[in-house]
Structure 1
Amino acid sequence: RFGSFEIFKSADEHTGREGPSVGRDDIRAQMLDYVISSFYPEIQAAHAEDRAQRNAAFFREVTRRTARMVAEWQCVGFCHGVLNTDNMSIVGLTIDYGPFGFLDRYDPNHVCNASDSAGRYAYSKQPEVCRWNLQKLAEALEPELPREQGEAILAEFDAEFRCHYLQKMRRKLGLVRTELPDDGALVARLLETMHLTGADFTNTFYLLSSFPVGPEPLGLPAFLAALTAQCASLEELKLAFRPQMDPR
């Protein structure tokens, strides 16, 4: 878990709280040795003679796996619910998703955790939160991972996320033969339309797979009827877009 390394966290500037093993660089080094040799033996073998390069390669792989993991979440409408550092794995697995959920009506601001009144872990914010958690991990690894090096590696997160996300969304839309520069814009327009019409996330993509093709698609009217049936009613949309009061 990312949070396991925060036992070395120095005093917080706002709360004054610090990790129980702050200053114990010897334990941090031992813990890092164990984690890399146990879960990333290929990295350990490739950089056995260069500790600094080994640690950088480790953090880069954790960053890559985390970016791809959250991209997978976004593509299937998965909402984790409690994305704190202690609920994220250094091997890129989805763990500790107690109040999790999946999108029904597409709403980028959907919050599946009833206790998350501020919407910190909303569906659309998950990539940002995962990146923030990686930043906290990098900070906890200092001085084993110099700050400048950690920041440089972390800067690779966004590109990795976008690439994997778009690749998966292309497959969901059947865009597998040719990749065009405006594919990303196409996905964004589809999601915007789904949001405005209250379309069901999973069923919309399922129905798109049955889109009739050919010079004269005979089943087009039935397809369009089924597709629009996944959209919310006017009354449901009024309720969904009703202004919300700040609970504070």
Structure 2
Amino acid sequence: MFHLGIATTRAATCVTSDTMVERDMNYTGDIIKERATLILRIAPTFLRFGSFEIFKPRDAISGRCGPSMGQKDILTQLLNYTIHSCYPQIWQSHVEDKTEMYLAFFSEVVKQTAQLVAAWQCIGWCHGVLNTDNMSIIGVTIDYGPYGFIDQYEPGFVCNSSDDRGRYAFDCQPDICKWNCHKLAEALEPVLQMSRMEDVLQSFDQHYEEFYHNKMMKKVSFIRV
């Protein structure tokens, strides 16, 4: 992915042990044994959308909530740390106004996420498990699991054999990433008005379309690289 120009974590080491593990690759009961292997991946940060969901308030329908629900002080600490560490330019530009800082941060995350999924679509790559815990807060590809490339154009391609409903199918990836951005907005609602974040969410499609079309135009040499 790195050499395809896609923002991604990098593989640092690969360690194989003598411990045997059982694999059922296609969930058919045909179990094979393989040596256990660990890949150490590195990135500027492994903070993800899901990191902020531990503060989510109780859902009116499901009754579920984050384990640190209501702890706004910890949410604020996490936000400040994330922005200071990962988005120093935003921190420096808005250090006197935290509300505008958080909004600028959310805007940048939405933009980078839209551009990341557009880059995936341009190379025919399917992640496989795009839940909020697999979405990087800095817009890089993380958590390589049942991913796959499409061999020929197949919009409904599903690379995860456990995804029976095709929730994370190739052509669903942009909408799922946008949905995940909305889930991040819900997690940030204790410090930002949802109405302001909804305006930002509306920009997702534009960021996606602009990046996707520009990338595809370069592929067919309509734009000089």
Q: TM-score, normalised by structure 1?
A: 0.70
Q: Verify: 1:163 aligned to 2:184, yes or no.
A: no
- Equivalences, count: 177
How far residue 176 of structure 1 moved from its aligned partner, in angstroms, is 1.4
Deviation per residue, 1:148-198 (Å, 9 max, x gap) = 111001110000000000000001111116xxxxxxxxxxxxxxxxxxxxx
Three-state SS of the structure 1 residue aligned to 2:81 is helix
Q: Verify: 1:35 aligned to 2:82, yes or no.
A: yes
How far residue 143 of structure 1 moved from its aligned partner, in angstroms, is 2.2
Q: Verify: 1:8 aligned to 2:55, yes or no.
A: yes
2-structure distance, mates of 1:35, 1:112: 32
2-structure distance, mates of 1:129, 1:107: 18
1-structure distance, mates of 2:210, 2:192: 26
2-structure distance, mates of 1:13, 1:116: 27
Three-state SS of the structure 1 residue aligned to 2:138 is coil
Match of 1:104 among 144, 147, 151: 151
Match of 1:19 among 58, 63, 66: 66
In the alignment, structure 1 segments of 5+ residues that lack a partner are 178-248
How far residue 13 of structure 1 moved from its aligned partner, in angstroms, is 2.8
How far residue 9 of structure 1 moved from its aligned partner, in angstroms, is 1.2
2-structure distance, mates of 1:165, 1:128: 14
1-structure distance, mates of 2:192, 2:138: 18
CA RMSD, 1 decimal = 0.9
| One-letter amino acid matched to 2:179 | W
Which of the pair is proportionally richer in helix?
1
Three-state SS of the structure 1 residue aligned to 2:92 is helix
Residues 121-200 of structure 1 aligned to structure 2 (within 5 Å): 121-176=168-223
| One-letter amino acid matched to 1:69 | L
Structure 1 partner of 2:132: 85
Moved over 2 A (4+): 12-15
Three-state SS of the structure 2 residue aligned to 1:4 is helix
Deviation per residue, 1:6-54 (Å, 9 max, x gap) = 0011122332111111011111111111110010111000001011110
| One-letter amino acid matched to 2:50 | G
2-structure distance, mates of 1:12, 1:114: 30
Structure 1 partner of 2:123: 76
Structure of higher CA gyration radius: 1
1-structure distance, mates of 2:96, 2:62: 40
How far residue 145 of structure 1 moved from its aligned partner, in angstroms, is 1.6
Which deviates further from its counterpart, 10-19 or 134-143? 10-19
In the alignment, structure 2 segments of 5+ residues that lack a partner are 1-47
Which of the pair is proportionally richer in strand?
2
| One-letter amino acid matched to 1:112 | C
Over the matched positions of the two proteins, sequence identity in percent amounts to: 55
